[in-house]
Amino acid sequence: MSKTGNKQVVKVLQALDIEILSGLYEHRALSTEQIMRRYEMTKWYTYKKLTMLRNSRLISTHPIRGYLANQKRQGNYHRISETGINCLRKQGVVVERSADQLRVNIRHLPFLLSSNDIMIDLERYNWVMKDSRQVKVEYKLNRGANVQGMLTSPREVGYLFYMFMHGISKLNLNKTAKEIKESNYPNYMVFAKSQNSFTTIVNVFSADDGLIVKCESLKVFPFVFAKYYLRLFEDENNVIKFLEGYEIYDLSFKTSSVSGMKQFEGLKRVVRHNGEEKYLVNLLDTDLVKVYNIKQYRKEMYELDGRKVLVVTTPNTRDMHEQLLEQIHHVDYLEIDSGDLVDYLKAI
């Protein structure tokens, strides 16, 4: 640390300085709070460190605006400067883009910061994120596509993902649906920043069978809930372990002998619940492909097979799930309190 006039500046780059600069290069923009969380610094030290980097012209700082119409500013975000990129190059870090190429369009900023928020929370649980630029090149997607990137789980299952903010238009939803239909990729996640957005996405996408049949999974999450759920429960075997506390026991070694049951790919997990064998479907992730599969298990098939469907839901989503399945009467619901679920996942 050194002082120029009354300003503290970086005299010798420390390992943490290089990590922060590399993170800003890789992710284009990070908020003060995101930097504090990602690099496990106190609030005071975060401000001190960013001030020194800024005084040394290694980064630039800008106000965050525009998440909500009635909020003018929500703190600051930070970008690496051309001087910062040159410093990384001198440290042997491979850098190919200029600071100008990393500039973030102000309309895109809320989506980028939200995507980076998901990344910061999940990378410590062995998730990996590719940003939208990399995904569009790798999968030959249109440069104007809405896709925000790809999240790859610890099981090495990749999900292209989309982020929807507080305001949402049917035009934009239809554009996203068209993108998914035209892509050959099987798995998707959609994150909603508000309850209204979440409801709208589910209602619009669930009504589009042409969209659903193009996917192997199409999970729709409230934004905050997703950051807890995905720590552990993308792996359905972990969901089963959790449900043992609710006296639900896996019998998935059992298979149906009913002719034609192969078409119901989503109904292959058999459990014992309240003394009965049932097909378990975890809708904590509101996967619309799972909803579609349940709807294909019609009355005549249920009468031949004899097993009801046990849907795992929460008090916040039960009404929505019941509405989606209103024509299927052989369904039981198991409500998991959202608070209990988050507490369980926080302890991981």
Model confidence over 17-60: pLDDT tens digits? 999 999 999 999 999 999 999 999 999 999 999 999 999 999 99
> Kind and range of the H or E element at 77?
strand 76-80
Question: Given this model, what pLDDT does residue 338 score?
Answer: 86
- Reported residue count of the chain is 348
pLDDT digits (tens, 9 = 90+) for 192-241: 999 999 999 999 999 999 999 999 999 999 999 999 999 999 999 999 99
Return left, alpha or beta for 285; rule: phi > 0 is left, psi -120 to 50 is alpha, else beta. Answer: alpha
**Are 135 and 161 in contact, with CB atoms under 8 Å apart?**
no
Average pLDDT, integer, range 265-290? 92
Q: Do strands 149-152 and 2-4 pair parallel, antiparallel, or not at all (unpaired)?
A: unpaired
Q: Is the pLDDT of residue 5 over 60?
A: no
SS3 253: coil
Q: Is the pLDDT of residue 265 over 70?
A: no
Give phi and psi for 310, each to the nearest 5: -100, 115
**Are 10 and 1 in contact, with CB atoms under 8 Å apart?**
yes
Q: Which 8-state DSSP code applies to residue 20?
A: H
Question: Given this model, what pLDDT does residue 2 score?
Answer: 52
Average pLDDT, integer, range 326-342? 93
> Kind and range of the H or E element at 189?
strand 187-192
Question: By mean pLDDT, which of 189-193, 218-222, 261-265 is the weakest?
Answer: 261-265
What is the pLDDT of the chain when averaged over all its residues? 91
Dihedral in degrees, nearest 10, Cα atoms 139, 141, 143, 148: -70
**Is the pTM value of this prediction over 0.85?**
yes
Q: Is the pLDDT of residue 337 over 80?
A: yes
**Are 188 and 215 in contact, with CB atoms under 8 Å apart?**
yes
What's the CATH architecture for 1-104? Orthogonal Bundle (1.10)
pLDDT digits (tens, 9 = 90+) for 124-174: 999 999 999 899 999 888 888 999 999 999 999 999 999 998 878 888 899
Distance CA 217, CA 318 (A): 20
Widest CA span in the chain: 83
Question: Given this model, what pLDDT does residue 348 score?
Answer: 79
Q: Is the pLDDT of residue 262 over 50?
A: no
Question: Given this model, what pLDDT does residue 8 score?
Answer: 87
Question: Given this model, what pLDDT does residue 263 score?
Answer: 41
Distance CA 294, CA 213 (A): 13
Q: Which 8-state DSSP code applies to residue 244?
A: G
Average pLDDT, integer, range 121-126? 96
Question: By mean pLDDT, which of 59-63, 70-74, 173-177, 306-310 is the weakest?
Answer: 70-74
Question: Given this model, what pLDDT does residue 249 score?
Answer: 92
Q: Residue 10 — pLDDT band, cuts 50, 70, 90? A: confident
Question: Given this model, what pLDDT does residue 24 score?
Answer: 97
Distance CA 58, CA 80 (A): 6
Question: Given this model, what pLDDT does residue 135 score?
Answer: 93
| Strand arrangement, sheet containing 30-31 | 30-31, 76-80, 59-63
